[in-house]
Amino acid sequence: EAGVTQSPTHLIKTRGQQATLRCSPISGHTSVYWYQQALGLGLQFLLWYDEGEERNRGNFPPRFSGRQFPNYSSELNVNALELEDSALYLCASSLAAGARISLNTEAFFGQGTRLTVV
Amino acid sequence: AQSVAQPEDQVNVAEGNPLTVKCTYSVSGNPYLFWYVQYPNRGLQFLLKYITGDNLVKGSYGFEAEFNKSQTSFHLKKPSALVSDSALYFCAVRGNSGNTPLVFGKGTRLSVIA
């Protein structure tokens, strides 16, 4: 069974540009989470999608946005890139049982996209 | 809002000795607690979780964690450390209702010395 896949693995952008990061969840998983892992800051929660809807959003500016597609894959978009956006962006997926979100199920992580803003 | 504190940035332990990585949490209602491990240039791997029931939870690779409700702690333990356990360890928490996200601590780097 394939795990969570993220693309690209590395991305280099210039300040002010836009970046698009992609994530495919494990088959059968409908919840997708995005996290930013910057040096020394641990994992900062960005966004959570489930069944195509945004369930929660972390304390990030509006230029961080995303969406979830009907096949449950997800995109993270970062507009007007700043140098401090350089980080490892991790996507995770988990089960969600229909209308009742399974909060006690563990999330499975992809390998991440390393975004470098120069 | 929920939060996780991992008070130690770095833990050093000799191979064969017991190890403890500390975690305290804050959440409304009953917590769901998780431990993950991250090896260099890799994503996070799930180790174990506490949902309800027995306060001592056993997980992968010989790790276990003890839930202590009164101290709001969920410390990760292993009776005998291996050099291969050297990695970055993350504790995470979420509440048991609503659109509560999975929130992580800053991580603790474990170094096991031969």
Q: Which residues pair with B95 in a beta bridge?
A: B31
Range with lowest mean pLDDT among A63-72, B50-59, B89-98? B89-98
- CA quadruple A23, B2, A80, A51: dihedral positive or negative? positive
The pLDDT value recorded for residue A102 is 63
A104 and B51 in contact by Cβ < 8 A? Answer: yes
A56 and B94 in contact by Cβ < 8 A? Answer: no
Contacts of A98 (CB under 8 A, 6+ apart): none
The pLDDT value recorded for residue A103 is 66
Contacts B43 to A, Cβ<8 Å: 4, 90, 109-112
B83 backbone dihedrals φ, ψ, rounded to 5° = -55, -35
**Chain B stretch 14-73, residues whose beta carbon is closer than 8 A to a beta carbon of chain A:** 32, 34, 36, 41-46, 49, 51
Would you list the DSSP string of A4-23?
-EEE-SEEEE-TT--EEEEE
> What tens digit of pLDDT does each residue of B66-82 get?
999 999 999 999 999 99
The pLDDT value recorded for residue A99 is 46
Contacts of B75 (CB under 8 A, 6+ apart): B20, B21, B22, B23, B65, B66, B68
Rounded CA-CA distance A84/A81 in Å is 8
The pLDDT value recorded for residue A2 is 79
Contacts A90 to B, Cβ<8 Å: 43-44
Closest CB to A55 among B6, B99, B106: B99
The pLDDT value recorded for residue B53 is 85
Rounded CA-CA distance A61/A55 in Å is 17
> Looking at chain B, which runs of residues are DSSP E strands?
3-5, 10-14, 19-21, 24-26, 31-38, 44-50, 56-58, 64-68, 73-78, 87-95, 103-104, 108-113
Rounded CA-CA distance A113/A92 in Å is 12
Contacts B95 to A, Cβ<8 Å: 103
The pLDDT value recorded for residue B24 is 98
Contacts of B106 (CB under 8 A, 6+ apart): A40, A41, A42, B6, B9
Rounded CA-CA distance B19/B14 in Å is 9
B33–chain A nearest CA distance, Å: 8
Q: What is the mean pLDDT of chain A?
A: 91
Stronger pLDDT, B21 or A107, i.e. the higher one = B21
- DSSP state, residue A106: P
Q: Which residues pair with A76 in a beta bridge?
A: A21, A66
